[in-house]
A = this chain, B = another copy of it.
Amino acid sequence: MSTTKERILDATERLFARQGIGATSVRAITAEAGVNTAAIHYHFGSKQELLEAVLVRRIAPLNQERLKRLERLELAAGDGPVAPRALLEAFLVPVVALREELGEEVPPFLGSLMAWLRIESERSTEAIPRRYFEDVMRRFGAAACKGRPDLSLDEAMERLGYAVGAMGHVLVTEGFAARADVAATTALSERLDRLVAFLEPGFFARGEQRSPGGAS
C-alpha cells in the first residue's frame, strides 16, 4: 500500500523515541522519512493528526491483544472469576510484547508515550487516553470485580490505573535498569514478572464497596 504514509509514520515514531515528542518537528520528520513537507499535511492534515495516527497504529493492536487474552481467560474460567495474576498478565504482557516488537533502537518510546499521554490527557489533544483506553479498562475492571461484592467497578479500575502507572515506570526506567548483566528484553520481561508479583496481592485485597456519595 501507500509507502509514503507508512514511511512518515515510521520516521515519526523513530524520532519520538530518539528525541522526544515535543522536540520532534514536521521538518525533522520529513527529513527522516525522505519525503516532502507537504506530504505530511496531504496525508494526515496536521501535525496533531499525524501524531494521533502514530499512537493509534500501536494502541489499537495492543488493546485488541489485551481483549483477546481476557476473553480467552474468561472462557477458561467459566462462571467463576479470573485469577488476578492472569488478569494482570493479560493486561500487561502485550505491552512488553509491543515493546519487543518495536526493536532495540527505541528503548524509552512507550514509556515516554505513556507519560506524554498523561500530560496531554486534559489538554489540546482531547482526552486521548479516554478515547482509546477507557473501553479496555472498563472490560478489565469488570472482569476484576466478578464474584467480588466487596470490589466496585470504580475501585477495580483505579487499581488497574495503579498498574498502568507502575508499568509506565518500568518502561521509562528501562534504560537505567538494563545494566550490563542481562539483555534488555530479557530484563524487561523479568521486570514484568516482578511487577505482576508486586501488584497481585493488592488486587486480591478487599475493596470498600463504596456506594456513591459515601463516607466522609
Contact = CB atoms under 8 A, between A and B. Distances in A.
Contacts of A201: 201-202, 204-205
A interface majority secondary structure: helix
B124 A119 contact: no
Contacts of A177: 158
A203 to B, nearest CB: 8
A162 B172 contact: no
A208 B194 CA distance: 9
A197 B159 CA distance: 11
Could you say which interface size class chain A belongs to?
Answer: 35 or more
A108 to B, nearest CB: 6
Contacts of A162: 165-166, 169-170, 195, 198-199
What is the oligomeric copy number? 2
B159 A164 contact: no
A141 interface: no
A155 B21 CA distance: 30
Contacts of A81: none
Interface of A: 19-23, 108, 111-112, 115-116, 118-124, 155, 158-159, 161-170, 172-173, 175, 177, 181, 186, 191, 194-195, 197-202, 204-205, 208, 212-214, 216
30 contacts: A20-B123, A22-B22, A22-B119, A108-B121, A111-B118, A112-B118, A112-B119, A116-B119, A118-B168, A119-B119, A121-B172, A158-B177, A158-B194, A159-B198, A161-B169, A162-B166, A162-B169, A162-B170, A162-B198, A163-B166, A165-B169, A166-B166, A168-B168, A186-B216, A197-B202, A198-B202, A199-B202, A201-B201, A201-B202, A201-B204
